[in-house]
Structure 1
């Protein structure tokens, strides 16, 4: 008698579970997954233009399940072509579930006043190195990375990485770990630091020493002190 009762309870429980499973499957095929649109920029993700020249956006494409939804992309821009500096154009599209997909393009507006230092990408040269004073003055040599100099007013330049790409490119941490900032080329060819920032760490350089433009070679060099114990001796072409 007891065995029959246990069997009956087991059968009732099994039927209930099957019924609940069927109810869950009757939601019109909803699986809890969301479909994201693709979003691709046409052209480069960074553009340099001269002051006063119109910025023509190269464009973008966006597709959702094979359908072109580019007209649903919202573009936000703070570009002012009359004021040299660094600007951002943001592209964003949101799917039906409210999840956004975004991309961005950096626009550099350059002051075209003639200068011995060009607005362009500059290579990090051999003999560039980092010294760690907290580790028996351990030296790490590196070279070959590309850094942007952008003149924003006569003699004043934005630099995309004062550390020569050490953390951003060499270590592979990403652009948030580049030390961007501004420097001034003085009349005697010395270079002075104006400002600096490492966005992802929320800090900046302790200072700059030995900043100099060499007219005989066209090279630019400086020493950046950082984090109390690090010394970056950088040479650019």
Structure 2
């Protein structure tokens, strides 16, 4: 009986010791993702013909400065009106990448016409299916043109609300982008992105602003299979 009790005591002691060892063993590890502190503005305006010097970023991983390991991509041509993107990326010690992007807009200060405002997609707008020739007419949806800089505007949806509002897909399926207004009132798309599908237009044609009526018109070819003919009025 004493021998059995002795064996039980030894087993219990070993079990408690094992539990103590397991509870004191800590294999956890904190991962610090790269944090970027952008110098200057995230959206920077530059007058065409001037110079541009990128201010860069400060990157930290936890409390460690890793700015020297940042990879910068993208260039800016300050002699040409347009929208440019400078991206900064870095990878932490665990192999996780992070990035941040600066938008640089080069503009022409001599363009003084302001076409910003909230427009309605006018009657006569439609989507044209190239393979079948089918037309889907639609109208009445809001499209905003937001003033960014002289001659530069941001459009809320080149599709005119077709997928966002008519189809009910939501705002990630609107094609947002920057527009350039020229001195002859023609328009050029400087960018355009559908976040939900991760793509852009094939072409942006015959776009113009009509000062007499205050209307805006463009034709957007998309996905190689359709064209959106959009007229906007206030």
Same fold (TM over 0.5): yes
Smaller-chain TM-score bracket: 0.5 to 0.7
Counterpart contact for 2:82–2:106, Cα < 8 Å: yes
Greater displacement, 71-80 / 128-137: 128-137
- The yes-or-no answer on 1:41 pairing with 2:38 is yes
> Could you tell me how far apart the structure 2 residues matched to 1:71 and 1:202 are?
31
Report the number of matched residues: 211
Decide whether aligned partners of structure 1 residues 116 and 31 sit closer, same or farther in structure 2, where only a CA change above 3 A counts: same
User: Residue 36 of structure 1: CA displacement?
Assistant: 1.5
Decide whether aligned partners of structure 1 residues 167 and 21 sit closer, same or farther in structure 2, where only a CA change above 3 A counts: farther
> Could you tell me how far apart the structure 2 residues matched to 1:164 and 1:181 are?
14
RMSD: 5.2
Which residue pairs with 1:141 in the alignment? 141
> Could you tell me how far apart the structure 2 residues matched to 1:80 and 1:38 are?
28
Matches within 5 A, 1:97-116: 97-110=94-107, 112=108, 114-115=110-111
Q: Which runs of 5+ in 1 are unaligned?
A: 1-7, 152-156
Counterpart contact for 1:180–1:198, Cα < 8 Å: no
Decide whether aligned partners of structure 1 residues 24 and 137 sit closer, same or farther in structure 2, where only a CA change above 3 A counts: farther
Q: Which runs of 5+ in 2 are unaligned?
A: 1-7, 129-133
Decide whether aligned partners of structure 1 residues 135 and 234 sit closer, same or farther in structure 2, where only a CA change above 3 A counts: closer
- Which of 62, 65, 69 lines up with 1:69 in the alignment? 65
- Which of 121, 126, 129 lines up with 2:119 in the alignment? 126
Decide whether aligned partners of structure 1 residues 40 and 168 sit closer, same or farther in structure 2, where only a CA change above 3 A counts: farther
